[in-house]
Amino acid sequence: MLDIAVVDYGTGNLRSVAKALLHVAPERTIMVSSDPATIRSAKRVVLPGQSAMPDCMRALDQSGLRDVVMEVARDRPFLGICLGLQMLFDNSEEGPTSGLGVLPGDVVRFRDERMHDSAGHRLKVPHMGWSRVAQKEDHPLWRGVEDHTRFYFAHSYYPVPDDPGLTAASVEYPAAFTCAIASANIFAVQFHPEKSHSAGLQLLANFVTWDGRV
Amino acid sequence: MGLAKRIIPCLDVAAGRVVKGVNFINLRDAGDPVEVARRYDSQGADELAFLDIRASVETRGLLYEMIGAVADQVFIPLTVGGGVSHVDDIRALLNAGADKVSINTAGVNNPALIEQAAARYGAQCIVAAIDAKAISPGRWEVYTHGGRTATGRDAVLWAREAVKLGAGEILLTSMDRDGARSGFDLGLTRAVADAVDVPVIASGGVGGLQHLVDGIVIGGADAVLAASIFHYGEFTVRQAKDAMSAAGIEVRD
């Protein structure tokens, strides 16, 4: 029985996600797959994503994986990473592009070309590097991850959920934005756990044992 | 509680091996990229940069294998550059495990490459690497082919153009300072950092920890890249972070 399927719809760096999962759970069967039946057979599913939203959505449709992603996002532990988070929402300003509409809300770009932090330092876009993640709720995926731990980000767009209650964590850049979403069996993050050193590996280890309940 | 300024050790590689200047004590094999990457990772490096200094078709496969081997065991971002001339090179590097790909000569000669790459893979993974040399006070010229070819292009204007084409980060190297250990060209760093909205990595000239601090505080860089001060065991990344932190710069613990 397949423990974890990493959805391969033909974009981005899937290897790092799969290898990080394997690193924290060497005893599990983990497959990078573009086969709907294989993905459907997995106990847990990871939807990664790296490139640009229009390309990701196009690739998802061309690979014929939209339906199975929608299906498994309803009924089993599901982890979205970066674009894999953004695609779950209704719309993205990037393109603009329609998303999967699994989660109500939009994905928007950092507003100002000239943003500053409270000390007056200029903030660049993409938001690139290690920022402190403020946890907004207790969740099994935060187990063993200290509040305000730094995770690695590399993005120009971020989600704005219609329901603020879905926000599992936020980060300031310079205003607070949602960087993690928790909705029943779905957990999704804007940062890259597979590139976030020990904290990221801890989150992935938590996902591997998560039963999909809060 | 903002974004940490990054420290990026840079490794020169050839045929899948780390070349020149890594002499960590207790490494079984200082040329093994996985071992070197692990060492920097354990010291708190925020990211690693790999430059294929003898990029050739014959050894390209070895680079991909090397990146894969590092990415499988070191879970921090990896930027890879050297000889990237086609969108297929970028795809191959990303598939091998690179998180960002830096484009230098090919981007200057064919700016459409940056545009295509950013459109396909996203701005966040396309780094425009710029090698610049001072030509008069406040003016710098872009060089390509590892600093051998003058292009007549203004470095600040080219940085702006590269960002407009879609580059999500600038890796800025001063050819005057590279290897000189006298500190970054802070005028160049500041001019480019002020000119673009994307993060700028300062490179070339680090000889001591204060140079890293200056690159951030005076140069306005978002990240600092260094090679020799780390490779020869002079300073650890941890010591560099302590120095930056003592200077009031926010770093990742």
pLDDT per residue as tens digits for the range B152-181: 999 999 999 999 999 999 999 999 999 899
Q: Distance between CA B38 and CA A150 in Å, rounded?
A: 19
Distant-in-sequence, close-in-space partners of A22: CB < 8 Å, separation ≥ 6: A28, A30
- Alpha helices (H) along chain A: 15-24, 36-41, 53-62, 66-75, 83-86, 197-209
Within-domain flag for A202: yes
Distant-in-sequence, close-in-space partners of B202: CB < 8 Å, separation ≥ 6: B172, B184, B189, B215, B216, B219, B221, B223, B224, B225
Give the model's pLDDT for residue A133.
Answer: 98
Within-domain flag for A200: yes
User: How far, in Å, are A37, B3, B47 from residue A148 at the CA level?
Assistant: 39, 12, 20
Of B82, B134, B77, B126, residue with least CA distance to B105: B82
Q: Sign of the C-alpha dihedral, residues B190, B195, B198, B204? A: negative
Indicate the pTM of the whole model: 0.96
> Given an 8 Å threshold on Cβ–Cβ distance, is B3 in contact with A19?
no
Give the model's pLDDT for residue A122.
Answer: 87
Beta bridge partners of A189: A81, A180
Q: Is B199 on the interface with A (CB under 8 A)?
A: yes
Give the model's pLDDT for residue A110.
Answer: 94
The identity of residue A153, as a single letter, is: F
Instruction: Give, in degrees to the nearest 5, the angle at Cα B55 between B49 and B61.
Output: 90
**Considering CB atoms only, which of A50, A128, A201 is closest to B75?**
A201
Enclosing domain of residue A18? 4-209
Mean pLDDT, residues B132-146 = 96
Q: Residue A81 is inside which H or E element, if any?
A: strand A78-81
**Considering CB atoms only, which of B1, B71, B197 is closest to A124?**
B197
Using the predicted structure, report yes or no on whether residue A81 has a pLDDT greater than 80: yes
CA distance A153 to chain B (A): 10
User: pLDDT tens digit string along A149-159?
Assistant: 999 999 999 99
The identity of residue B231, as a single letter, is: H
Within-domain flag for A214: no
Residues in chain B with CB shorter than 8 Å from the CB of A83 are: 122
Give the model's pLDDT for residue B1.
Answer: 59
In this structure, of A103-107, A113-117, A151-155, B64-68, the range with the lowest mean pLDDT score is A113-117
Would you give the DSSP letter of residue B166? T
> Given an 8 Å threshold on Cβ–Cβ distance, is B97 in contact with A16?
yes
Mean pLDDT, residues B77-89 = 95
Distant-in-sequence, close-in-space partners of B16: CB < 8 Å, separation ≥ 6: B33, B59, B62, B63, B65, B66
- CATH code for position A117: 3.40.50.880
Residue percentage of chain A with pLDDT more than 70: 98
> Given an 8 Å threshold on Cβ–Cβ distance, is A15 in contact with B68?
yes
The rounded Cα B252 to chain-centroid distance in angstroms is 18
Average per-residue pLDDT for chain A: 95
- Pair B67, B100: CB distance under 8 Å: no
Using the predicted structure, report yes or no on whether residue A95 has a pLDDT greater than 80: yes
Residues in chain B with CB shorter than 8 Å from the CB of A204 are: none
Give the model's pLDDT for residue B137.
Answer: 95
> Given an 8 Å threshold on Cβ–Cβ distance, is B124 in contact with A129?
no
Residues in chain B with CB shorter than 8 Å from the CB of A131 are: 2-4
Q: Structural domain tally of chain A?
A: 1
Within-domain flag for A204: yes
Give the model's pLDDT for residue A117.
Answer: 84
Using the predicted structure, report yes or no on whether residue A210 has a pLDDT greater than 70: yes
Beta strand pairing call for B200-203 and B169-174 = parallel
State the count of interchain CB pairs (< 8 A) between A and B: 126
The rounded Cα A49 to chain-centroid distance in angstroms is 8
User: How far, in Å, are A14, A142, A158, B89 from residue A84 at the CA level?
Assistant: 11, 19, 12, 24
Tokens 């200082």 -> residue:
B30
Give the model's pLDDT for residue A205.
Answer: 98
Residues in chain A with CB shorter than 8 Å from the CB of B41 are: 197
Within-domain flag for A27: yes
Q: Distance between CA A125 and CA A154 in Å, rounded?
A: 9
User: How far, in Å, are A73, A114, B8, B16 from residue A125 at the CA level?
Assistant: 30, 9, 19, 33
- Residues of A with catalytic roles: 82, 192, 194
The rounded Cα B213 to chain-centroid distance in angstroms is 17
Beta strand pairing call for B78-81 and B48-52 = parallel
Q: Is A27 on the interface with B (CB under 8 A)?
A: no
Q: Is A197 on the interface with B (CB under 8 A)?
A: yes
Query: B99 catalytic, yes or no?
Result: no
Would you give the DSSP letter of residue B4? P
Q: Is A98 on the interface with B (CB under 8 A)?
A: no
The residue annotated as part of the active site, out of B46, B131, B185, B214, is: B131
Q: How far apart are the first and last CA of chain A?
A: 24
Give the model's pLDDT for residue A37.
Answer: 97
User: pLDDT tens digit string along A25-65?
Assistant: 999 999 999 999 999 999 999 999 878 899 899 999 999 99
Give the model's pLDDT for residue A113.
Answer: 67
> Given an 8 Å threshold on Cβ–Cβ distance, is A154 in contact with B41?
no
What is the complex's ipTM, to 2 decimals? 0.95
> Given an 8 Å threshold on Cβ–Cβ distance, is A129 in contact with B199?
yes
User: pLDDT tens digit string along A118-145?
Assistant: 878 889 999 999 999 999 999 999 999 9
Q: Distance between CA B46 and CA B4 in Å, rounded?
A: 9
User: pLDDT tens digit string along B208-251?
Assistant: 999 999 999 999 999 999 999 998 889 999 999 999 999 999 99
Of B123, B102, B79, B169, residue with least CA distance to A52: B123
- Pair A61, A55: CB distance under 8 Å: no
User: pLDDT tens digit string along B23-52?
Assistant: 777 777 888 999 999 999 999 999 999 999
Give the model's pLDDT for residue B120.
Answer: 87
